[in-house]
């Protein structure tokens, strides 16, 4: 009897072994397809160029011998974090703005797949701008101060965890905003925020210039100016008296203010947040709402969605207003702002799993 059954049992065992081998191969193939850059290479074989800002907040906080990190010490911290997760990375300081596009094109020619920005939003945005139109993927190591874009992507903020995401997360496509030939990741707009940037630049007021800065800032806060604007959203015209209009591609702006709590990076739409004329007390209430992310509950705040937005003064001869794109002034009214859907590839958790 045992001899009779041995051959069928052997065949069953061989069939199970073949089936297990096929299941294992299929699992490996699915894992490789899920976590490869554009489906071409295993995750840890992603050839990555990390461009870092030595002055970024978290890199400055790395322990050093003399307490002031040199670029080499910052690079060592990044190299050790990349080595710990097995990431194939080259680490360089961020080149000057005029040389950034050339370095990105050289990286593409050299066979890199990912260019990662190690720094804050001021480091991420120009690198993202340089990557648009290439085959390269953006990575983000959020070691800066506010890290608005990284927050919207749902990235972790410790360097080891962020490096693990850079090595293992899938590639997402996200939208960018466009003013002329310039791209932005967070928001563009007119009004209060743009006026503050015009006065103080991207870094805002400084404590060591307290007297001079407050002399400029106080009139804006005591008597927040409202402008009569004409907005055209996807062909629909609105006339608004507004303290601020923000055309948001992502949730956060400035010092991690949740201007558009419901904005999504991959829906192909702007969240257009319009803030009406405010008294000084309403402005204070608005500032608190920005911090806690409930601006849309205020009676003088309206949010609409659109793919293309035009902003102009109601009267043609009125003085043009500055228009900011993220942290700098990019244009003046009249201006046309449009969304470019899925324009940027970025290494990040899936949007259904990430949380702001």
Res. 98: pLDDT tops 60? yes
Model confidence pLDDT, tens digit, residues 329-339? 999 999 999 99
For the segment(s) 39-169, the CATH number from 2.60.40.1840, 3.40.50.10330, 2.40.50.140, 1.10.150.530 is: 3.40.50.10330
What pLDDT is stored for residue 286 in this prediction?
87
DSSP 8-state code for residue 293: T
Model confidence pLDDT, tens digit, residues 134-147? 999 999 999 888 89
Res. 38: pLDDT tops 90? no
Band (pLDDT 50/70/90 cuts) for residue 290 is confident
Q: Residue range 161-174: average pLDDT?
A: 94
**16-20, 42-46, 53-57, 317-321: least confident range:** 16-20
Helix (H) or strand (E) segment spanning residue 131: helix 121-131
Query: What whole-number distance in Å separates Cα of residue 215 and Cα of residue 210?
Result: 8
What pLDDT is stored for residue 233 in this prediction?
97
What pLDDT is stored for residue 209 in this prediction?
45
DSSP 8-state code for residue 181: T
What pLDDT is stored for residue 69 in this prediction?
55
For the chain, give the mean pLDDT: 81
What pLDDT is stored for residue 202 in this prediction?
60
CA dihedral (227, 329, 205, 151) positive or negative: positive
Q: The domain 182-342: what is its CATH number? A: 2.60.200.40
Q: Residue range 309-324: average pLDDT?
A: 88
Q: CB 331: neighbour CB atoms within 10 A?
A: 20
Model confidence pLDDT, tens digit, residues 189-209? 999 889 888 887 665 544 444
Token output for 296? 């849309």
Question: If we measure between CA atoms, which residue out of 177, 192, 203 comes closest to residue 309?
Answer: 177
What pLDDT is stored for residue 39 in this prediction?
39
Q: Residue range 138-157: average pLDDT?
A: 92
Query: What whole-number distance in Å separates Cα of residue 284 and Cα of residue 221?
Result: 9
Band (pLDDT 50/70/90 cuts) for residue 111 is very high
Model confidence pLDDT, tens digit, residues 14-37? 444 444 334 333 333 443 443 343
Model confidence pLDDT, tens digit, residues 214-250? 455 566 666 778 899 999 999 999 998 999 999 999 9
What pLDDT is stored for residue 75 in this prediction?
82
What pLDDT is stored for residue 21 in this prediction?
38
Listed in order, strand segments (DSSP E) in the chain are 48-52, 89-93, 114-119, 137-142, 171-179, 182-184, 187-191, 227-233, 236-248, 252-253, 257-258, 270-276, 301-306, 308-313, 322-325, 328-332, 335-347
Res. 347: pLDDT tops 60? yes
Q: What is the distance between the terminal CA atoms of the chain, rounded to a whole angstrom? A: 66
Q: 23 or 133: whose pLDDT is higher?
A: 133
What pLDDT is stored for residue 104 in this prediction?
95
Where in the chain do CATH 3.40.50.10330 domains reside? 39-169
Band (pLDDT 50/70/90 cuts) for residue 2 is very low
């Amino acid at each position: 009897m045992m001899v009779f059954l041995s051959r069928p049992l052997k065949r069953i065992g061989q069939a199970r072994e073949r089936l297990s081998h096929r299941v294992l191969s299929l699992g490996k193939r699915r894992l490789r397809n899920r976590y490869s850059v554009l489906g071409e290479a295993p995750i840890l074989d992603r050839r990555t160029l990390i461009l870092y800002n030595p002055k970024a907040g978290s890199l400055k906080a790395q322990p050093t011998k003399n307490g002031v990190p040199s670029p080499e010490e910052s690079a060592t911290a990044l190299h050790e974090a990349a080595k710990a997760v097995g990431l194939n990375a080259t680490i360089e300081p961020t080149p000057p703005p005029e040389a950034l596009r050339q370095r990105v094109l050289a990286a593409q020619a050299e066979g890199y797949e990912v260019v990662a920005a190690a720094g804050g939003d001021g480091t991420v945005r120009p690198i993202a701008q340089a990557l648009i139109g290439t085959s390269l993927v953006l990575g983000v190591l959020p070691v800066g101060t506010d890290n608005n874009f990284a927050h919207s992507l749902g990235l972790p903020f410790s360097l080891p965890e962020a490096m693990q995401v850079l090595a293992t997360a899938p590639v997402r496509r996200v939208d960018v905003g466009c003013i002329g030939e310039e791209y932005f990741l967070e928001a563009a707009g007119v009004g209060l925020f743009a006026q503050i940037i015009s006065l103080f630049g991207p870094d805002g007021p400084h404590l060591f210039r307290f007297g001079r800065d407050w002399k400029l800032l106080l009139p804006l806060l005591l008597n927040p100016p409202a402008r009569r604007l004409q907005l055209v959203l996807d062909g629909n015209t609105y006339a608004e008296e507004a303290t601020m209009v923000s055309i948001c591609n992502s949730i956060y702006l400035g010092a991690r203010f949740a201007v558009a709590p419901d904005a999504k990076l991959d829906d192909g739409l702007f969240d257009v947040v319009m803030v009406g004329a405010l008294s000084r007390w309403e402005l204070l209430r608005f500032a608190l709402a920005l911090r806690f992310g409930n601006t849309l509950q205020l009676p003088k705040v309206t949010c609409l969605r659109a793919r293309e937005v035009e902003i102009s003064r109601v009267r043609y001869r009125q003085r043009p207003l500055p228009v900011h794109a993220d942290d700098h002034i990019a244009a003046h009214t009249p201006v046309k702002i449009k969304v470019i859907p899925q324009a940027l590839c970025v290494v990040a958790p899936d949007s259904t799993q990430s949380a702001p």
